[in-house]
Protein backbone atom coordinates (compact mmCIF):
# COMPACT_ATOMS: atom_id res chain seq x y z
CA UNK A 1 0.00 0.00 0.00
CA UNK A 2 1.35 3.45 -0.92
CA UNK A 3 1.60 6.23 1.64
CA UNK A 4 -1.27 8.05 -0.14
CA UNK A 5 -3.43 4.91 0.16
CA UNK A 6 -2.48 4.57 3.83
CA UNK A 7 -3.32 8.24 4.47
CA UNK A 8 -6.63 7.90 2.65
CA UNK A 9 -7.54 4.80 4.66
CA UNK A 10 -6.56 6.54 7.90
CA UNK A 11 -8.61 9.64 7.05
CA UNK A 12 -11.60 7.53 6.02
CA UNK A 13 -11.44 5.74 9.38
CA UNK A 14 -11.21 9.12 11.15
CA UNK A 15 -14.26 10.29 9.20
CA UNK A 16 -16.27 7.26 10.33
CA UNK A 17 -15.05 7.88 13.90
CA UNK A 18 -16.09 11.56 13.63
CA UNK A 19 -19.62 10.47 12.66
CA UNK A 20 -19.77 7.75 15.32
CA UNK A 21 -18.60 10.23 17.96
CA UNK A 22 -21.49 12.52 16.99
CA UNK A 23 -24.12 9.80 17.09
CA UNK A 24 -22.86 8.53 20.46
CA UNK A 25 -22.14 12.01 21.94
CA UNK A 26 -18.60 10.76 22.67
CA UNK A 27 -16.76 13.93 23.67
CA UNK A 28 -13.45 12.35 24.84
CA UNK A 29 -13.01 10.36 21.60
CA UNK A 30 -13.95 13.37 19.54
CA UNK A 31 -11.70 15.76 21.41
CA UNK A 32 -8.77 13.43 20.71
CA UNK A 33 -9.08 13.96 16.94
CA UNK A 34 -9.45 17.74 17.06
CA UNK A 35 -6.56 20.18 16.80
CA UNK A 36 -6.26 22.57 19.80
CA UNK A 37 -7.14 25.49 17.46
CA UNK A 38 -10.15 23.68 15.93
CA UNK A 39 -13.22 25.67 14.93
CA UNK A 40 -16.39 25.03 12.98
CA UNK A 41 -18.66 26.93 10.62
CA UNK A 42 -22.30 25.80 10.69
CA UNK A 43 -24.88 25.76 7.89
CA UNK A 44 -25.99 29.30 8.76
CA UNK A 45 -22.44 30.70 8.69
CA UNK A 46 -21.99 30.80 12.45
CA UNK A 47 -18.49 30.27 13.82
CA UNK A 48 -17.79 28.25 16.96
CA UNK A 49 -14.55 27.60 18.85
CA UNK A 50 -13.37 24.20 20.07
CA UNK A 51 -14.60 24.56 23.67
CA UNK A 52 -18.10 25.67 22.65
CA UNK A 53 -18.24 23.01 19.94
CA UNK A 54 -17.36 20.17 22.33
CA UNK A 55 -19.88 21.44 24.89
CA UNK A 56 -22.59 21.30 22.23
CA UNK A 57 -21.27 17.94 20.99
CA UNK A 58 -22.06 16.31 24.35
CA UNK A 59 -25.81 16.49 23.70
CA UNK A 60 -25.99 17.17 19.96
CA UNK A 61 -27.46 13.82 18.95
CA UNK A 62 -30.78 12.67 20.37
CA UNK A 63 -32.00 9.37 18.82
CA UNK A 64 -35.61 10.29 19.63
CA UNK A 65 -35.23 13.42 17.49
CA UNK A 66 -32.75 12.22 14.85
CA UNK A 67 -34.27 8.88 13.91
CA UNK A 68 -32.13 8.30 10.81
CA UNK A 69 -28.55 9.37 10.04
CA UNK A 70 -26.17 8.25 7.36
CA UNK A 71 -22.86 9.29 5.89
CA UNK A 72 -22.40 9.02 2.14
CA UNK A 73 -20.43 10.28 -0.85
CA UNK A 74 -17.09 10.47 0.95
CA UNK A 75 -14.33 12.36 -0.89
CA UNK A 76 -10.78 12.67 0.40
CA UNK A 77 -8.19 15.02 -1.11
CA UNK A 78 -4.57 14.90 0.07
CA UNK A 79 -2.29 17.92 -0.30
CA UNK A 80 0.92 17.04 1.53
CA UNK A 81 0.21 17.34 5.25
CA UNK A 82 -3.27 18.78 4.66
CA UNK A 83 -6.36 16.77 3.79
CA UNK A 84 -9.91 17.72 2.87
CA UNK A 85 -12.47 15.11 3.95
CA UNK A 86 -15.93 15.72 2.56
CA UNK A 87 -19.12 13.70 2.77
CA UNK A 88 -22.86 14.18 3.06
CA UNK A 89 -25.18 13.21 5.88
CA UNK A 90 -28.79 12.30 5.23
CA UNK A 91 -31.01 12.75 8.25
CA UNK A 92 -34.57 12.39 9.46
CA UNK A 93 -35.66 14.52 12.40
CA UNK A 94 -38.93 14.27 14.31
CA UNK A 95 -40.11 17.25 16.35
CA UNK A 96 -43.66 17.66 17.68
CA UNK A 97 -44.64 14.55 15.67
CA UNK A 98 -43.53 16.26 12.44
CA UNK A 99 -40.90 14.41 10.40
CA UNK A 100 -38.45 16.34 8.24
CA UNK A 101 -35.70 14.99 6.03
CA UNK A 102 -32.68 16.60 4.50
CA UNK A 103 -29.00 16.41 3.78
CA UNK A 104 -25.98 18.33 4.98
CA UNK A 105 -22.59 18.27 3.28
CA UNK A 106 -19.43 18.85 5.28
CA UNK A 107 -15.77 19.41 4.61
CA UNK A 108 -13.37 18.71 7.44
CA UNK A 109 -9.84 20.04 7.07
CA UNK A 110 -7.16 17.86 8.67
CA UNK A 111 -3.50 18.64 9.19
CA UNK A 112 -0.80 16.10 9.90
CA UNK A 113 1.37 16.96 12.88
CA UNK A 114 4.20 14.59 13.78
CA UNK A 115 2.47 11.76 11.90
CA UNK A 116 -1.00 12.31 13.42
CA UNK A 117 -3.99 13.68 11.49
CA UNK A 118 -6.02 16.25 13.45
CA UNK A 119 -9.14 18.08 12.33
CA UNK A 120 -8.66 21.85 12.46
CA UNK A 121 -11.85 23.02 10.69
CA UNK A 122 -15.30 21.56 10.03
CA UNK A 123 -17.61 23.40 7.68
CA UNK A 124 -21.24 22.42 7.07
CA UNK A 125 -23.43 23.26 4.07
CA UNK A 126 -27.11 22.51 3.52
CA UNK A 127 -27.74 20.45 0.37
CA UNK A 128 -30.55 21.15 -2.11
CA UNK A 129 -32.53 18.07 -3.25
CA UNK A 130 -31.17 18.30 -6.81
CA UNK A 131 -27.67 17.75 -5.35
CA UNK A 132 -28.49 14.81 -3.07
CA UNK A 133 -25.94 12.00 -3.50
CA UNK A 134 -27.41 8.61 -4.34
CA UNK A 135 -28.11 5.90 -1.76
CA UNK A 136 -25.47 3.66 -3.35
CA UNK A 137 -22.81 5.98 -1.87
CA UNK A 138 -23.86 5.28 1.76
CA UNK A 139 -20.87 4.30 3.92
CA UNK A 140 -22.48 4.08 7.38
CA UNK A 141 -26.08 4.24 8.55
CA UNK A 142 -27.68 4.69 11.98
CA UNK A 143 -31.28 4.09 12.99
CA UNK A 144 -32.20 5.77 16.29
CA UNK A 145 -28.47 6.00 17.09
CA UNK A 146 -27.67 2.33 16.39
CA UNK A 147 -25.13 1.46 13.69
CA UNK A 148 -26.73 -0.79 11.07
Question: Which residues span the domain enclosing 65?
Answer: 3-147
Q: Is the pLDDT of residue 91 over 90?
A: yes
Q: Which of 22, 83, 16, 27 is nearest to 50 (CA)?
A: 27
Per-residue H/E/C for the chain: CCHHHHHHHHHHHHHHHHHHHHHHCCHHHHHCCEEEEEEEECCCCCEEEHHHHHHHHCCCCCCCCEEEEEEEEEEEEEECCEEEEEEEEEEEEEECCEEEEEEEEEEEEEEEECCEEEEEEEEEEECCHHHCCCHHHEEEEEECCEEC
Contacts of 127-130 with C-beta under 8 Å, sequence gap 24+, read 127/88, 127/102, 127/103
Amino acid 39: pLDDT:
98
Amino acid 1: pLDDT:
78
pLDDT digits (tens, 9 = 90+) for 5-26: 999 999 999 999 999 999 999 9
Assign residue 60 the CATH number of its domain.
Answer: 3.10.450.50
Mean pLDDT over the full length of the chain: 97
Q: Is the pLDDT of residue 2 over 90?
A: no
Binned at pLDDT 50, 70 and 90, residue 100 comes out as: very high
Binned at pLDDT 50, 70 and 90, residue 30 comes out as: very high
pLDDT digits (tens, 9 = 90+) for 46-73: 999 999 999 999 999 999 999 999 999 9
Mean pLDDT throughout 109-122? Answer: 97
Q: How many domains does the chain have?
A: 1
* Confidence (pTM): 0.94
Amino acid sequence: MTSAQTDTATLSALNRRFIHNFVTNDVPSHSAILHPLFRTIDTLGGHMDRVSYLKEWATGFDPDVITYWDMRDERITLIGDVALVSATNRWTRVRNDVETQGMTCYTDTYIRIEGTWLCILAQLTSVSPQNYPADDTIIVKYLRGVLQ
